[in-house]
């Protein structure tokens, strides 16, 4: 623990507690000292190990807490951006509540004066020592990156509240990419350019709060994945952030798909998509806007929903099926082809209140039905236009 760190922690002790520490360690000449002078007196007369033992006894730190030396060894030595600036990027993914919890962990008493997120981040960074910057990074870097990366893959797969709507290479020479995202009632855009000259801290921008402040938002990671797949840079050249151990496995099934290209047409003019071939959404993509038949599926979740339009409230149900066997809808038995049948882990259905009242679906029911597969901008991929359901 640094001297600054110990002094700050000791301010949380009362004068009585500080005097008890002095007494327990056989110190003399402290009885008339003020609280601040008591803190200075303890720091001058006790070693780091003595203070650490006291904090362990009080339950303030753990006995097996990672040391500053161990954290220093674990730091990313290839990163060119300094710890304080890099921590600014990471902390953009923390909300105000999480930042205030961080203040409590490091005994920062004035955090309540800072109500705006960026002011709070600046206050924390200015208040912490270099050792503490590294400790915050150690505790949060991979958590933040993994969370945002997971959201990025969900966006690619259409499983998040917003999905990738369009990808454009606006300047192939400088690897400039613009990605549009579509939400239920909003649109957003992100921009990234990764070149040998800027790979240590790529040029980027985003409409979201995290990305607009240079944070590593999920939109940023969609851009990183696309740039990797487009060979705008090699993973071996990436030094800015740590990556999860399974990063390669996570992105390996994701491929580029292009449509609308014409021979001789520049790459930037093509319609480009990212497709995760390991996901159910990739399997289902060829059925979007098509009539389908669900031959068998087991209900794993049943949720009542409401929608309001012009003061009229409609009730409907979302049914989640597991272990689904499905294919294109056929109208004659002779048209059935086993090779057209696919298996997906989960599939969501939307059914009316009237249909649920008639059939009374329950968890674990096995069913078959027909409907139309739709890419809903809010709910993601789900089956609609269901008129009849058969229990198996």
pLDDT at 254 over 80: yes
Rounded CA separation 175/199 (Å): 11
* pLDDT for 265: 46
pLDDT over 60 at 324, yes or no: yes
Asked whether the predicted pLDDT for residue 293 surpasses 90, the reply is yes
241 or 63, which is more confident: 241
pLDDT at residue 17, rounded to an integer = 85
pLDDT at 35 over 80: yes
State the DSSP code for 66: P
Taking the alpha carbons of 64, 67, 70, 72 in that order, is the dihedral positive or negative?
Answer: positive
Most confident of 68-82, 167-181, 260-274: 167-181
Using the Cα atoms of residue 124, residue 130, residue 136 and residue 142 in order, give the sign of their dihedral.
positive
The reported pLDDT for the residue numbered 187 is 92
Segment 155-195, tens digit of pLDDT: 998 788 888 989 999 999 999 999 999 887 899 999 999 99
Tell me what the mean pLDDT of segment 343-363 comes to.
94
Per-residue model confidence (pLDDT) at position 270: 59
pLDDT, mean over the chain? 89
pLDDT of 141 strictly over 50: yes
238 band by pLDDT with thresholds 50, 70 and 90: very high
Contacts of 251 (CB under 8 A, 6+ apart): 153, 225, 228, 229
Calculate mean pLDDT across residues 278-305.
88
Residues 324-328 have a mean pLDDT of 94
User: Residue 159: what pLDDT?
Assistant: 81
Residue 2 — very low, low, confident or very high, per pLDDT cuts 50/70/90? low
Is 41 in contact with 35 (CB distance < 8 Å)? no
Q: What percent of the chain has pLDDT over 70?
A: 95
pLDDT digits (tens, 9 = 90+) for 100-131: 999 988 888 888 889 899 999 999 999 999 99
pLDDT at 262: 41
Whether residue 96 is predicted with pLDDT greater than 80 in this model: the reply is: yes
The CATH class given to the 281-391 domain equals mainly beta
Q: Does the pLDDT value for residue 371 go beyond 70?
A: yes
Give me the pLDDT at residue 283, please: 82
Are 228 and 251 within 8 A, CB to CB? yes
- Predicted confidence band at 32 (pLDDT cuts at 50, 70, 90)? confident
User: Under a CB-based contact definition with an 8 Å cutoff, are residues 380 and 159 in contact?
Assistant: yes
Mean pLDDT of 191-220: 97
pLDDT at 289: 85
Which residue in 206, 222, 216 sits closest to 242, CA to CA? Answer: 216
Q: Which residues of 317-352 are buried (b: 16+ CB within 10 A; e: fewer)?
A: bebbbeebebbbbeeeeeeeeeeeebebeebbbbbe
Q: Can you give the residue ranges of every domain in the chain?
A: 3-57, 76-147, 151-277, 281-391
What pLDDT is attached to residue 66?
A: 77
pLDDT at res. 294: 96
Tokens of 291: 């009539």
Q: What is the mean pLDDT of residues 32-54?
A: 86
pLDDT at position 81 = 96
User: What CA dihedral angle connects 107, 76, 233 and 211, to 10 degrees?
Assistant: 0
């Amino acid at each position: 623990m640094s001297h600054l760190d110990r002094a700050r922690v000791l301010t949380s002790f009362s004068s009585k507690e500080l005097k008890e520490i002095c007494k327990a360690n056989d110190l003399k000449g402290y009885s008339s000292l003020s609280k601040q002078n008591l803190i200075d007196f303890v720091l001058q007369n006790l070693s780091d190990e003595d203070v650490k033992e006291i904090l362990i006894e009080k339950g303030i730190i753990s006995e097996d807490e990672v040391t500053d030396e161990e954290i220093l060894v674990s730091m990313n030595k290839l990163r060119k951006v300094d710890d304080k600036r890099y921590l600014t990027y990471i902390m953009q993914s923390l909300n105000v509540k999480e930042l205030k919890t961080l203040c409590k962990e490091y005994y920062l008493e004035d955090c309540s004066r800072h109500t705006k997120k960026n002011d709070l981040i600046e206050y924390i960074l200015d208040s912490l020592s270099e050792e503490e910057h590294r400790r915050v990074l150690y505790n949060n870097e991979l958590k933040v990156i993994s969370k945002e990366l997971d959201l990025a893959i969900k966006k690619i797969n259409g499983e998040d509240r917003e999905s990738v709507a369009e990808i454009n290479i606006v300047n192939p020479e400088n690897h400039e990419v613009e990605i549009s995202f579509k939400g239920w009632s909003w649109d957003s855009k992100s921009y990234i350019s990764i070149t040998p000259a800027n790979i240590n801290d790529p040029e980027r921008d985003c409409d979201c709060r995290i990305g607009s402040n240079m944070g590593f938002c999920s939109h940023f990671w969609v851009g990183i994945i696309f740039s990797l797949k487009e060979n705008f840079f090699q993973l071996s050249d990436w030094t800015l952030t740590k990556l999860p151990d399974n990063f390669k496995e996570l992105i390996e099934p994701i491929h580029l798909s292009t449509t609308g290209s014409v021979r001789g047409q520049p790459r930037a003019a093509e319609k480009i998509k990212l497709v995760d071939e390991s996901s159910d959404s990739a399997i289902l993509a060829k059925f979007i806007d098509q009539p389908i038949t669900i031959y068998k599926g087991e209900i794993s979740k049943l949720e009542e929903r409401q929608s309001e339009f012009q003061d009229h409230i409609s009730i409907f149900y979302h049914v989640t099926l597991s272990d689904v066997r499905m294919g294109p809808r056929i109208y004659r038995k002779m048209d059935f082809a086993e090779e057209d049948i696919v298996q997906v882990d989960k599939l969501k259905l939307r059914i009316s209140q009237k249909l649920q009242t008639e059939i009374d679906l329950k968890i674990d029911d096995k069913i078959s039905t027909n409907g139309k597969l739709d890419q809903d901008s809010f709910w993601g991929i789900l089956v609609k236009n269901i008129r009849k359901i058969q229990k198996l």
